[in-house]
Amino acid sequence: MSGLIAPSILSADFTRLREEVDMINHSEADWFHVDVMDGVFVPNITMGFLVVKAIARMATKPLDVHLMTVHPEHYIQQWRDAGAQHITVHYEACTHLHRVIQQIKLTGAKAGVAINPHTPVSLLKDIISDLDIVIVMSVNPGFGGQAFIPHTFKKVSELSDLIHSQNASTLIEIDGGVTLENATMLIETGADSLVAGNTVFNSPNPTETIRLLKKAAKHNKPTL
Ligand code: DX5
Ligand code: ZN
């Protein structure tokens, strides 16, 4: 089985957005990870509908939109219209999480929930079978280029057990501090998809780095 790679456009050079999107289009990457930050849920502001729409027009791969915003329920249809194929909201930002997930599914997008480093996996017990994706935050959200939090491995393993115990088909995505060094171990622990911003865009040859990440994320399950 091979892991999915989702370069985070947040670390791209926005003065050369078309070239950066084309680089991902022609690479071995699977998804575009798009970080939306509102300056309230997280201490940073990134992009809104206009920029995401522009990326969607140029991208030939699914847009994996990660909403780090309060009240994401107010804008679900607009994100879908902007071109999001996956819409992920934060557990910590949703009082009525089940309702928001149904709202996302009604638009035809895949529905995801992201959990911050302090949020236990066990809190997803009664919602996991409704989720297409869980993003396990391996940094505190807000910025690219932060160091990976090692406790993430334990959470991935717990989440993998929870998904299997309910026969769910939820994908596990890791977001923050993914490198060529930790990619293989993350996939072996149960991750399906790896976000990578700094590792890809601050490398001398981003296309080659994506190829190496994809290779590192190849995981041959031992045969019984
Ligand atoms: C962090 C964002 C991440 C970020 C990852 O709040 O959600 O998607 O772009 O960047 P790196 O890979 O540089 O940690
Ligand atoms: Zn993200």
- How far, in Å, is the centroid of ligand 1 from the Cα of 135? 11
Does the annotation count 126 as an active-site position? no
On whether residue 224 sits in a domain, the answer given is: no
State the amino acid at position 119 in one-letter form: T
Pairing label, strands 193-196, 171-175: parallel
d(CA 1, CA 4): 10
pLDDT by residue for the chain (224 residues), tens digit each?
579 999 999 999 999 999 999 999 999 999 999 999 999 999 999 999 999 999 999 999 999 999 999 999 999 999 999 999 999 999 999 999 999 999 999 999 999 999 999 999 999 999 999 999 999 999 999 999 999 999 999 999 999 999 999 999 999 999 999 999 999 999 999 999 999 999 999 999 999 999 999 999 987 655 45
Q: Is the residue at 101 inside a domain? A: yes
**Residue 89 CA to ligand 2 centre (angstroms):** 10
| The residue type at 12 | A
Residue 222 CA to residue 224 CA, distance in Å, equals 6
Q: Quick check: is 165 in a domain?
A: yes
Helices (H), 107-151: none
* Cβ atoms of 48 and 39 closer than 8 Å: no
CA 114 to ligand 1: nearest atom: 7
Residue in this structure with the two tokens 């910025």, named with its chain if needed? 143
CATH of the domain at 204: 3.20.20.70
- Tokens 């700094």 locate to 198
The preferred substitution site among 66, 148, 195 for testing ligand 1, maximizing ligand atoms within 8 Å of CB, is 195
Helix (H) or strand (E) holding 52: helix 49-58
Whether 44 is in a domain gets the answer yes
- In terms of phi and psi (left: phi > 0; alpha: psi -120 to 50; beta: otherwise), the region of 21 is alpha
The pLDDT of residue 54 is 98
Residue 172 lies in a domain: yes
DSSP state of 80: H
- Domain membership flag for residue 222: no
Let me know if residue 18 belongs to a domain. yes
Nearest Cα to 44, choosing from 159, 139, 181?
Answer: 139
The reply to whether 76 falls in a domain is yes
Domain that holds residue 147: 4-216
**Token pair 């998809």: residue:** 193
Number of domains in the chain: 1
Sign of CA dihedral 48, 81, 144, 137: positive
Bridge partner list, 137: 175
Cβ-proximal residues to 207 (8 Å cutoff; 6+ apart), any chain? 23, 26, 27
Which residues does ligand 1 sit against, CB inside 6 Å?
Answer: 8, 10-11, 33, 35, 66, 139, 141-146, 175-178, 195-199
Ligand with an atom nearest the CA of residue 43: 1
| Count of CB atoms situated within 10 Å of the CB of 42 | 21
- With the most atoms of ligand 1 within 8 angstroms of its CB, the residue from 35, 135, 148 to mutate is 35
Contact status, residue 65 vs residue 48, Cβ threshold 8 Å: no
Q: What pLDDT, on a 0 to 100 scale, did the predictor assign at position 222?
A: 53
3-state DSSP assignment of residue 55: helix
